[in-house]
Amino acid sequence: MINNKVCREFLKIFKVHLIVEWIFKTFPQRKQFGKFSYSVGSLEAWLVEKEIFKEGIYDGVFDLANIRTFADLGCNRGFFGVWLASKTRSDLKGILVEANPFLIPEIQALLKMNHFSKMQVLQGAAGAGMGGGEVEILIPPTDVGAGLSDTTFDSLKGDHCERVHVLALSIGKIWGEKFPSGERCDFLKLDIEGAELRFFKEEGDFLALVDRLVVEVHERSVPIEKIRDLIAQNGFAIKQENKADSETSLIFAAR
């Protein structure tokens, strides 16, 4: 998520996150985007809603008319799936992967609410090693972002985070099991809080099936030049770069 740093610092300084979270959880709001619904019941959900639905951070780069499949890695509350379905088709097929186990019930509720029967949510970490097993992630008390403990940025490590062990996922293997006929991934969204570099090095077979992608680059953890190089090495051409803040960029690329 893009505005993590500002939000986290504000909450740490003024010690208001418990009050803010109580308000959101006590008075959750069900909202509409196009013909689909979503729920805002936390500060982070509100921030993600603002970025995706209000500011339109993914709008206007790709022609989405023929999108049929997608993968959302680091899906947070699953709002990207709502946005993409509203731009394309209600029977969109895809996977949503989230490392934070506490968000999985919200994502499942979102899919059920909108009858997204061809979307599947998986709990675990992408870009965390292809050998399987468990890896440690850090979840800050504000619940604004979560990342692998060995790749995430120092500001998150100092946030008195909860340490949780989750499965390391092979996205190529998961995609092959869901689409055994070798179906391509029309759109990949990658937002894995500093593990992008490892993902590009590990998941070459899956990336060969991807036609277009957007990567949120956390420059505190990953040199953006290396991500640009790896995007090119995997056969993509960069179409647009948007500077979200001083430490975060969105890179859009396609074949």
Pick the CATH number of 58-254 from 3.40.30.10, 3.40.50.150, 3.90.870.10, 1.20.1630.10: 3.40.50.150
- How would residue 246 be classed by pLDDT, with cut points 50, 70 and 90? confident
What is the mean pLDDT of the segment spanning 117-133?
89
The greatest distance separating any two alpha carbons of the chain, rounded to the nearest whole angstrom, comes to 53
Quote the pLDDT of residue 23: 82
The chain-wide mean pLDDT, for the chain, equals 88
pLDDT in tens, 207-227: 999 999 999 998 888 899 999
**Strand partners of residue 237:** 254
Distance, in Å, from the CA atom of 19 to the CA atom of 137, rounded to the nearest integer, reads: 25
Whether the per-residue pLDDT at 154 is higher than 60: the answer is: no
pLDDT in tens, 167-192: 999 999 999 999 999 999 999 999 99
pLDDT in tens, 9-29: 555 555 666 777 788 888 889
Q: How far is CA 211 from the centre of its chain?
A: 18
Whether the per-residue pLDDT at 128 is higher than 90: the answer is: no
Q: How far is CA 216 from the centre of its chain?
A: 8
Quote the pLDDT of residue 97: 97
What is the mean pLDDT of the segment spanning 69-81?
97
